[in-house]
Structure 1
Amino acid sequence: MSEAALAKEAAALDAADGLAAKRAEFDLEDDCVYLDGNSLGALPRGVAGRLSDVVGREWGRLRIRSWEESGWWTAPERVGDRIGRLVGAAPGQVVAGDSTSVNVFKAVVAAIRLRDTGSRDEVLVDAATFPTDGYIARSTARMTGCRIRVVDAADMAREAGPRTAVALVNHVDYRTGRLHDLPAVTAAVRAAGARTVWDLCHSAGALPVHLDATGADFAVGCTYKYLNGGPGAPAFLYVRRALQGRFDSPLPGWNSHADPFAMDPAYAPADGAVRGRVGTPEILSLLALDAALDVWDGVDLAAVRAKSLALTDFFLRCVEAYVPRGRVESVTPEAHGERGGQVSLRCAAGPAGGAGDVMAELIRRGVVGDFRRPDILRFGFTPLYTRFADAERAARVLAEVLEGTRRQ
């Protein structure tokens, strides 16, 4: 198909896009092709004003009174419930705070402590996991006398057995964009008598997640990608309601105490999601995230998913039409049921250099994706602000870079 035909198709798809108006809620230049929302989401326009008020009025004038009068103290649960709606969790099961790494640690140790027998001494880890998850898992294994067994996420369901205490799985592979079967893996691990900890960093806000409906035990995720919370935004922790009374956090901070201001030297855990807190909440970044989540008000996750799949399908068609054969290869699954919200292309070295050089030139020409060593170009498609015209332009500029030309 010709460039003119694909550009015309992109315009028609954008005109029919039910989410198109959402782009105006983000601080993006009209000519910006930003395809790195799977690393850092774009800035929602409402965040700057909200932070100005938090700093100038709540902190600047109300000062200490804001813990009560401005609702700072309960912000982790309030923001957690807003995230919960986006990951299929009823209120009272998600708390916002700390980093993803810290929350992985809490969840994995807590899952091990829930085991029904000491013979469950095995932690299954997704072979393609994000490195931090693996680091944390190995540390928890050393601390708890468990052993790590690394398995492919696709094999996790059948690998769980009588020795398994917990399975730590990435819902979407950060490198390839492969979506793993959360319901099936959760059911199989549970049938084996073990617990699941799901890493939702690359799925929260990109596609519907049904934590309650699927019986997931624990889940963690960051909020600075598809949820647009900003660099270093607080992460979140999900603890299934049925487990909350037995959730034994390895980080029993004063904020998770049943009566924090009693300053009791003996720890007594609070009820509910509050038990997932540790120390004083990161108020500035937490309230920036709270404001960022306003863009999700009234948004149907099914519509987000439908547009995400349409965008990635269209981008792959454009790449096939524009890019010289053999120069790139998609490592993202074609099947919709196995695809997250990004497209990853393996890029062989050529006249334009290696994949890192290609991405640097794409960024210089106004198409922002990212590069993962040694040879992966990643393009994240964020349905709230990515246009079909962006997908077409990205594929066209990629072809130009690989050919060493600039088309007129």
Structure 2
Amino acid sequence: MTDTRLSSTRLLDDARALDAADPLGAHLDAFLPAPGVTAYLDGNSLGRPLRDTPEKLAAFVREDWGTRLIRSWDEQWMALPMELGDRIGRVALGAAAGQTVVADSTSVLIYKLMRAALRQAQGPGAAAAGRTELVMETGNFPTDRFVAEGVAAETGMTVRWLEPDPVHGVTIADVEAVLSERTALVSLSHVDYRSGALADMPGITAAVHASGALMMWDLCHSAGVVPMQLDQWGVDLAVGCTYKYLNGGPGSPAFAYLRRDLQGLLRQPIQGWWSAADIFAMGSEYAPAGDIRQLLSGTPPVTSMLAMQGMLDLIEQATIDGVRAKSASLTALAIRGYDEVLAPLGVRLLSPRDAELRGSHVTIGHPDFREVTQRLWADGVIPDFRFPDGIRLGLSPLSTSHVETVTGILAVRDALESHAR
């Protein structure tokens, strides 16, 4: 038996032992099985549906919509964006009630908050004078960068670009190096969508505040898998999606966090009827709501808010700290698998080795990975390809086992060896 084959046996044996001892293992059965899929390693892009989701959706059509009809708006739907936001804040964000709302897509909410923050920076008063820069990372997710460029063009601001280490991500030192009296807003991702690097949210937020600027975080790759304390750490604004680790389904709406003392001070740019102080007044002039509802615009996507509620139940049962502990275990096993069976094949590790410095995905690189990914998908192993030559192993703790993780690593090895022949 070759060294890598021996390592494979040991990896699988150890994975079985980890699964047997996993305190969250019972939750694995809560998710719908996917026929023909032996390893789903893309939960960081689209979480799997729960077993009871089809019946919950059917019951919604039969009862809430089909029977109660428009009466459901008064009975439950009107308050749903705020109530669901409060749940996300409590379960995943460390945010007290009244500061989180579920509304539009991630892109729209980033635009709303970013535009509101920069509008405030351009307002009257000495504190706003000369604040003309928006700080953004060159490797941030395209939406964040594209929106930043668009908002800067609208407001006459300048984007100040950070160029951090591509594996270890943005550090406090990186941010402090560009902060000045010109900084209006710093907008960064909590977990890097490429490498999985975890930014120091409290440290960076404190540094930004010391410069007199506002801090905005993109939580798309951390909400539901990395514990955080938005209130305690003084975060000003944040946006996150719900279809990754919150398993809301394709296109499920995002959430926005706006610190309580900024509500009514920052004014978002899409002034729809749902953010009016009196929704049904149909008045001739717009007056915004004084609470978190001010971030809404049009009619909320009620149907798309349904699936994530079951996942919030699971996270609450498991606790976000328990989810984080299993995430660290899964990613550590993935990196061990990389060391033992993939590194000898010329594969590069593109994620931090320290579990405290990464989120819940591990990225590996090889020139042949585009073709390898196509083969893996055809064989029922589903990772995520990222240009130019990276595979992300997204390990959603409540729906992914240790054996599934190793199965995926070994499939990458086999596909790579086969491609090389």
Fold agreement, TM-score > 0.5: yes
Matched, 1:47 2:43: no
How far apart are the structure 2 equivalents of 1:181 and 1:324?
Answer: 29
How far apart are the structure 1 equivalents of 2:64 and 2:356?
Answer: 45
How far apart are the structure 2 equivalents of 1:294 and 1:183?
Answer: 27
Residue correspondence of structure 1 range 1-400 to structure 2 within 5 A: 2-29=7-34, 32-69=38-75, 71-85=76-90, 86-115=92-121, 116-152=127-163, 153-154=170-171, 155-323=174-342, 325-348=344-367, 354-400=368-414
How far apart are the structure 1 equivalents of 2:311 and 2:298?
Answer: 23
TM-score (ref. length: structure 2): 0.92
How far apart are the structure 1 equivalents of 2:324 and 2:133?
Answer: 35
* Aligned residue pair count: 400
Kindly state the Cα deviation for residue 289 of structure 1 after the two structures are TM-superposed: 2.8
Pair 1:247–1:121, CA change in 2 (3 A)? same
Determine if contact 1:42/1:228 at 8 Å carries over to the other structure: yes
Letter paired with 2:224: G
TM-score (ref. length: structure 1): 0.95
Determine if contact 2:248/2:306 at 8 Å carries over to the other structure: no
Secondary structure class of the residue paired with 1:386: coil
Pair 1:235–1:324, CA change in 2 (3 A)? closer
Secondary structure class of the residue paired with 1:161: coil
Determine if contact 1:218/1:239 at 8 Å carries over to the other structure: yes
How far apart are the structure 1 equivalents of 2:66 and 2:198?
Answer: 45
How far apart are the structure 1 equivalents of 2:129 and 2:282?
Answer: 34
How far apart are the structure 1 equivalents of 2:315 and 2:119?
Answer: 36
Secondary structure class of the residue paired with 1:260: coil
Secondary structure class of the residue paired with 1:124: strand
How far apart are the structure 2 equivalents of 1:46 and 1:274?
Answer: 30
Determine if contact 1:323/1:402 at 8 Å carries over to the other structure: no
How far apart are the structure 2 equivalents of 1:290 and 1:381?
Answer: 20
How far apart are the structure 2 equivalents of 1:176 and 1:4?
Answer: 28
Letter paired with 1:383: P
Moved more, 25-34 or 75-84: 25-34
Kindly state the Cα deviation for residue 29 of structure 1 after the two structures are TM-superposed: 4.3
Residue by residue over 1:292-312, the C-alpha shift from the partner in whole angstroms, topping out at 9 and shown as x without a partner, is 433223221111111111111
Secondary structure class of the residue paired with 1:190: helix
How far apart are the structure 1 equivalents of 2:265 and 2:128?
Answer: 15
Letter paired with 2:352: P
Secondary structure class of the residue paired with 2:337: helix
Structure 1 segments unaligned to the other structure (5+ residues): 349-353
Secondary structure class of the residue paired with 2:363: strand
Determine if contact 1:14/1:388 at 8 Å carries over to the other structure: yes
Letter paired with 2:104: D
Name the Cα RMSD after superposition. 1.6
Instruction: State percent identity of aligned pairs.
Output: 43
Pair 1:228–1:188, CA change in 2 (3 A)? same
Pair 1:146–1:403, CA change in 2 (3 A)? same
Residue by residue over 1:71-126, the C-alpha shift from the partner in whole angstroms, topping out at 9 and shown as x without a partner, is 01111001111111211111110000100001101111111123232310100011
Letter paired with 2:45: S
Kindly state the Cα deviation for residue 337 of structure 1 after the two structures are TM-superposed: 2.5
Secondary structure class of the residue paired with 1:250: coil
